[in-house]
């Protein structure tokens, strides 16, 4: 995967787990995305005031403002209504996924996940953002 392919795509990553946040940022940067990180929903809203990313990937369960509240706040901002939001959660139950989608999230993926799960979620919400993986010949 050539890193230069996605350099115009910017992702805001939001998670209160610093190790996971660093790991996601590293893997998506290696995949060629530009990343910004936020350790809380409030920090994410501050980052969103400065610039609008192409995607937002956020943990559904954070202290303070959780990912569900963050989605609600994002969808209230007219300039962000079409920005894809992907929520992640270690508690992957149907009710959690339905709640996320009802609030305006575009996808919901369970933890633990790997880079391919993230890329697949990004591809599901905006197919042109990530080319399809091909099997080696």
Q: Give the residue numbers spanning the domain of 109.
A: 3-124
Residue 55 lies in a domain: yes
The confidence score (pLDDT) of residue 43 equals 97
Output the domain CATH number for residue 14.
Answer: 3.40.50.2300
- 60/45 Cα distance (integer angstroms): 15
Give the DSSP letter string of 32-94: T-EEEEESSHHHHHHHHHH---SEEEEES--SSS-HHHHHHHHHTSGGGTTS-EEEEESS--H
Label residue 3 by pLDDT band (50, 70, 90).
very low
**Whole-model pTM above 0.85?**
yes
Reading the block at residue 124, the tokens are 């599901």
Residue 136 lies in a domain: no
- What integer is the mean pLDDT of 28-56? 95
Residue 130 lies in a domain: no
Return the half-sphere exposure (C-beta side, CA atoms, 13 A cut-off) of residue 115: 15
Residue 26 lies in a domain: yes
- Max Cα separation, the chain? 49
Flag whether pLDDT at 6 surpasses 60: no
Interval 47-77: pLDDT, tens: 999 999 999 999 999 999 999 999 999 999 9
Residue 137 lies in a domain: no
Flag whether pLDDT at 135 surpasses 50: no
Place of tokens 């990553």: 13
Backbone torsions φ then ψ of 136, nearest 5 degrees:
-65, 140
Type and span of the H or E element at 125: helix 115-125
Flag whether pLDDT at 82 surpasses 60: yes
The confidence score (pLDDT) of residue 128 equals 74
Residue 133 lies in a domain: no
- 10/75 Cα distance (integer angstroms): 18
Residue 135 lies in a domain: no
The residues near 2 (Cβ < 8 Å, ≥ 6 apart) are: 32
The confidence score (pLDDT) of residue 91 equals 85
Residue 90 lies in a domain: yes
**Domains of the chain: total:** 1
The confidence score (pLDDT) of residue 132 equals 59
């Amino acid at each position: 995967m050539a890193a230069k392919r996605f350099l115009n795509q910017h992702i805001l990553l939001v998670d209160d787990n610093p190790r996971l946040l660093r790991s996601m940022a590293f893997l998506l940067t290696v995949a060629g995305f530009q990343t910004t990180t936020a350790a809380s929903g409030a920090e994410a809203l501050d980052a969103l005031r400065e610039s609008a990313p192409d995607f937002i990937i956020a943990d559904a369960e954070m202290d303070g403002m959780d990912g569900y509240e963050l989605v609600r706040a994002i969808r209230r901002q007219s300039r962000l209504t079409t920005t894809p939001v992907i929520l992640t959660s270690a508690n992957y139950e149907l009710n959690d996924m339905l709640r996320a989608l009802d609030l305006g999230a575009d996808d919901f993926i369970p933890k633990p996940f790997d880079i391919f799960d993230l890329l697949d979620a990004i591809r599901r919400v905006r197919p042109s953002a990530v080319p399809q993986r091909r099997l080696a010949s």
